[in-house]
Amino acid sequence: MLSLIVFIPLLAALGLLFVDKDNRAMARAVALGASSLSFLISIGVLVWFKEAEVGMQFTETLVWVKLLNIRYQVGVDGISVLLLVLTTFLSVIAIFFSLDRKDKLRNFLALMLALEAGTLGVFVALDTILFYVFWELMLIPTYFLIGIWGEGRRVYATTKFVLYTLVGSLLMLVAIIAITVAHYNVTHELTFDIQTLVHTRIDPASQLWMFIFFFLAFAIKVPVFPLHSWLPHTYVSCPIPALVLLTGAMSKTGAYGFIRFCLPLFPEAVESLAVAIGCAAAGGIVYGAWIAVAQKDLKALVAYSSISHLGFIVLGIFAHNGQGIEGSVLQMINHGIIASALFIIVGILEKRMGTRNLNDFRGLGNAMPVLYGMFMLITLAALGLPGLNGFVGEFLILMGVWTSAMLSDMSTIFVLMGGLAIVFASIYMLYMFQGAMQEKNEKLPDHLTDINRGEAGLLLPACVLIVFIGLYPKPFIDRVSPSVDRLLTLEKTVNLDAGHDAGHH
d(CA 376, CA 380): 6
**Do 43 and 98 meet the contact criterion of CB atoms below 8 Å apart?**
no
The number of angstroms, rounded, from the C-alpha of 161 to the middle of its chain's C-alpha atoms is: 16
d(CA 156, CA 230): 10
The mean per-residue pLDDT over the stretch 472-497 comes to 75
**Do 90 and 38 meet the contact criterion of CB atoms below 8 Å apart?**
no
Please, what is the end-to-end C-alpha distance for the chain in angstroms? 45
Of all residues in the chain, what percent carry a pLDDT higher than 90?
A: 42
**Do 172 and 215 meet the contact criterion of CB atoms below 8 Å apart?**
no
Q: Which has the minimum average pLDDT: 85-89, 231-235, 470-474?
A: 231-235
Q: What is the pLDDT of residue 1?
A: 86
Query: In this predicted model, what pLDDT tens digit does every residue of 242-263 receive, in sequence order?
Result: 999 999 999 999 999 999 999 9
Q: What is the pLDDT of residue 176?
A: 93
Whether 372 is in a domain gets the answer yes
pLDDT-derived band of residue 31, with 50, 70 and 90 as boundaries?
A: very high
Q: What is the pLDDT of residue 204?
A: 82
pLDDT-derived band of residue 504, with 50, 70 and 90 as boundaries?
A: very low
Whether 451 is in a domain gets the answer yes
pLDDT-derived band of residue 354, with 50, 70 and 90 as boundaries?
A: confident
Q: What is the pLDDT of residue 496?
A: 34
Whether 346 is in a domain gets the answer yes
The mean per-residue pLDDT over the stretch 478-500 comes to 66
Cβ count near 471 (within 10 Å): 12
Q: What is the DSSP string of 30-99?
A: HHHHHHHHHHHHHHHHHHH--TT--S-EEEEEEEEETTTTEEEEEEE-HHHHHHHHHHHHHHHHHHHHTT
Helix 105-124 and helix 78-97, axial crossing angle in degrees, nearest 10: 170
The mean per-residue pLDDT over the stretch 100-128 comes to 91
| Residue-level length of the chain | 505
**What residues make up the domain containing 431?**
267-491
pLDDT at 497 over 60: no
The mean per-residue pLDDT over the stretch 288-306 comes to 88
| Residues β-bridged to residue 61 | 73
**Do 155 and 132 meet the contact criterion of CB atoms below 8 Å apart?**
no
Our count of domains for the chain comes to 1
Ranges of H-type helices in 150-266: 154-187, 194-197, 204-221, 230-237, 240-245, 251-257, 263-265
Q: What is the pLDDT of residue 206?
A: 86
pLDDT-derived band of residue 493, with 50, 70 and 90 as boundaries?
A: very low
pLDDT at 505 over 60: no
Higher per-residue pLDDT: 503 or 150: 150
* Average pLDDT of the chain, as a whole number: 87
| Residues β-bridged to residue 409 | none
**Do 340 and 90 meet the contact criterion of CB atoms below 8 Å apart?**
yes
pLDDT at 492 over 60: no
Q: What is the pLDDT of residue 502?
A: 35
d(CA 356, CA 235): 13
pLDDT at 54 over 90: no
The mean per-residue pLDDT over the stretch 203-229 comes to 88
| Residues β-bridged to residue 79 | none
Whether 345 is in a domain gets the answer yes
Q: What is the pLDDT of residue 88?
A: 95
Higher per-residue pLDDT: 447 or 48: 48
pLDDT at 53 over 90: no
pLDDT at 241 over 70: yes
Whether 149 is in a domain gets the answer no
Query: In this predicted model, what pLDDT tens digit does every residue of 76-113 receive, in sequence order?
Result: 998 999 999 999 999 999 999 988 888 888 999 999 99
Q: What is the pLDDT of residue 94?
A: 93
Q: CB-based contacts of 156: which residues, under 8 Å, 6+ apart?
A: 233
Query: In this predicted model, what pLDDT tens digit does every residue of 150-160 receive, in sequence order?
Result: 888 888 988 88
- Give φ, ψ of 287 to 5 degrees: -60, -50
pLDDT at 431 over 80: yes
pLDDT at 498 over 80: no
Q: CB-based contacts of 185: which residues, under 8 Å, 6+ apart?
A: none
The mean per-residue pLDDT over the stretch 179-196 comes to 85
d(CA 208, CA 175): 11
The mean per-residue pLDDT over the stretch 345-360 comes to 84
Whether 457 is in a domain gets the answer yes
d(CA 393, CA 325): 10
Higher per-residue pLDDT: 76 or 431: 76
Whether 228 is in a domain gets the answer no
Whether 350 is in a domain gets the answer yes
The number of angstroms, rounded, from the C-alpha of 132 to the middle of its chain's C-alpha atoms is: 17
pLDDT at 441 over 80: no
The mean per-residue pLDDT over the stretch 42-69 comes to 88
